[in-house]
Amino acid sequence: MTAIPKALQRALIAAGLTASIAHPASAAGVIEIDGSSTVYPITEAVAEEYQTRLGGARVTVGISGTGGGFKRFCRGETDISDASRPILKEEMVLCAQAGIRYYELPVAYDALTIVVSKDNDFVDHLTVAELKKMWEPAASGKITSWRQVRDSFPDMPLKLAGPGADSGTFDYFTEAVVGTSKASRGDYQASEDDNVIVQFVSRDKGALGYFGLAYYEENRDKLRAVPIVSSGNSAGVLPSIATVNDGTYNPLSRPIFIYVKDRSLKRPEVRQFVEFYLQEGGALAREVGYVDLPAAAYEQALSNLRGGKLGTGFGGTPEVGLKVEELLAREGKL
């Protein structure tokens, strides 16, 4: 009877020993990252690649959302914060109170894509004004047919789907289309899971939805992207790497960021990780379905980091249709 537990004990100790030998890096620090779930796939890819190629430091990534991430970041709990929108005034104040200074580094573009069902054959393009007509708060309960959006459209029920109010994508879309962040009609199918929006739109000829480009790329067989006409261009523009980078896919493309605490950069593993992010992040972003920045932008971000250019280029108010090169050249505010 007693022989078994003893053998088990030995096995456990042996397992413990091997495990402790297998993790010699346990003394090195952990790089803690939290924030937006939109930026998460890129950061995950960079963290994975960093750990396999360079080893050493351990990286953890959470998904508390952009706002939740900044809360933790400004409390000094994390080294890096993932953000799908720039830092806001209130968050800047919080960080300043805690004495936390940071670098704002754009890492990729996310292009919001307007999608309709594959069966939908009448929508050839949409203007930003038409999108506003569909989505503004005043449309609630009133704009219910495609005919009301444009006279040439059929009298078909208009069914809308989009991300819920907690999402950074929702914030940006409302800002870009309606003009005020978070101002949207309430009577649409809201979901935090973009796959639900894909299902909703693909099943209904009269449905329209929006989400990040990656979800469209994965569901091309079920959905059709709608070309967008804005004030800058008279012909409809589809989201793509080219149209995002030359700024013609406007105003629905936005840069996404990481914010890095300057004190954490004193730790060599954090500096190494952030530089790795800016060098390899572009290719990895493309691999996980995002649009990478032009190479010059990554170089500029890297030189901003090395040159100690702290702060945000937005000054606490989000802007629509800003080019990354312009942002990186701006004076930073803390």
Kindly list the residues in this chain that would bind another protein in the complex (CB under 8 A): 12-13, 15-17, 19-21, 23, 26, 30, 32, 34, 37, 40-41, 43-45, 47-48, 51, 58-64, 72, 77, 192-195, 212, 214-215, 217-219, 284, 287-289
Give the strands of the sheet with 126-127, arranged side by side. Answer: 126-127, 228-230, 233-237
- Spatial distance between the Cα atoms of 246 and 132, rounded to a whole number of angstroms: 24
- Spatial distance between the Cα atoms of 141 and 144, rounded to a whole number of angstroms: 7
Other residues' Cβ atoms within 10 Å of the Cβ of residue 190? 18
Q: How far is the CB of 58 from another protein (least distance, A)?
A: 5
Q: How far is the CB of 71 from another protein (least distance, A)?
A: 11
Q: How many CA atoms lie within 13 A of 141 on its CB side?
A: 0
Q: How far is the CB of 160 from another protein (least distance, A)?
A: 20
Nearer to another protein, 49 or 319 (CB): 49
Nearer to another protein, 283 or 296 (CB): 283
Nearer to another protein, 176 or 197 (CB): 197
Q: How far is the CB of 229 from another protein (least distance, A)?
A: 26
Other residues' Cβ atoms within 10 Å of the Cβ of residue 263? 14
Nearer to another protein, 19 or 235 (CB): 19
* 114-149 as b/e: b if 16+ CB within 10 A: bbbbeebeebeebbbebbbbbbbeebeeebeebeeb
Other residues' Cβ atoms within 10 Å of the Cβ of residue 78? 26
Nearer to another protein, 212 or 313 (CB): 212
What's phi and psi for 222, nearest 5 deg? -110, -25
Nearer to another protein, 37 or 81 (CB): 37
In Å, how far are 45, 123, 129, 142, 193 from 185, measured between CA atoms? 35, 21, 15, 10, 19
Q: How far is the CB of 323 from another protein (least distance, A)?
A: 26
Q: How far is the CB of 289 from another protein (least distance, A)?
A: 6
